[in-house]
Amino acid sequence: MNKVFSQGENGHTAAGPKAHPGGEAGCGHLCCSRRGACLSASLLLLLATLAALIALVTILGLPSRTPGAQACITLTNRTGFLCHDQRSCIPASGVCDGVRTCTHGEDEDESLCRDVPQSLPHFLVAHCGDLASWIYSDQKCDGTNNCGDCSDELSPVTVCPPCGPGWWRCPSTFFKYCDCIPRHLCRDHVQHCSDWSDEYACPGP
């Protein structure tokens, strides 16, 4: 092992301190201090990131676990709401009606019902002639005056197919119906059509 000798004033030589490669001699406390500062800075950065994430979740809320609403066609050929079991299709008007129809109650989920109709998926909503009024999409073209002005049954707002086999076409005298009345009302000795055709022309049920 090499030693460095120096000559003192009395002419004697003495061994000096051991040399360290790379100039590490005397680093000790300074290096430890720098490492401690780096660790502290990293820990502070991690805590700040965690605090920011917590604040973001608090403000925006946790992501919804409710899958997006899906449309389906009911057994009566009407627009429906598909439950999360991917099998049950309930009528559009059964959503947010206060009754949990789907097995897991997703048809009454807060995300759907908190601000009806704005919170409802577009496929569940139909607008009336008065844009401030709306009905469920399965109530359109069902033969009943759901909008109150027949705009859900008549053009130009709504284009519906002709009266079905269970209906008789005539200008109705009843507020409940528009251009068609149920055939079971024919020949019951009560005027349901303004032209009386329900009593004289309609063949009945």
Per-residue pLDDT of the chain (205 residues; tens, 9 = 90+): 444 444 444 444 444 444 445 444 455 554 545 666 666 777 778 877 877 766 554 444 433 334 478 999 999 999 999 999 999 999 999 999 999 999 999 999 999 999 999 999 999 999 999 989 999 999 999 999 999 999 999 988 888 988 988 999 999 988 999 999 999 999 999 999 999 999 999 987 7
The strand pair at 70-73 and 13-15 is best described as unpaired
Q: Which structure tokens are listed for 163?
A: 């009266």
Domain, as residue range, for 111: 68-141
| pLDDT value for 6 | 45
Quick check: helix, strand or coil at residue 8? coil
Residue 105 lies in a domain: yes
Whole-model pTM: value is: 0.62
Q: Is residue 29 part of a domain?
A: no
Q: What pLDDT is stored for residue 34 in this prediction?
A: 60
Contact 151, 106 (CB under 8 A): no
Please work out, in degrees rounded to the nearest 5, the angle formed at the alpha carbon of residue 59 by the alpha carbons of 56 and 65: 85
pLDDT at 55: 59
Residue 45 lies in a domain: no
Token pair recorded at residue 53:
């994430």
164 vs 143: CA distance, rounded Å: 9
Number of domains forming the structure of the chain: 1
Domain membership flag for residue 164 = no
Encoding tokens for residue 140?
Answer: 């359109």
Instruction: Examine residue 107 and state whether it is found in any structural domain, yes or no.
Output: yes
Looking at the domain assignment, is residue 184 inside a domain?
no
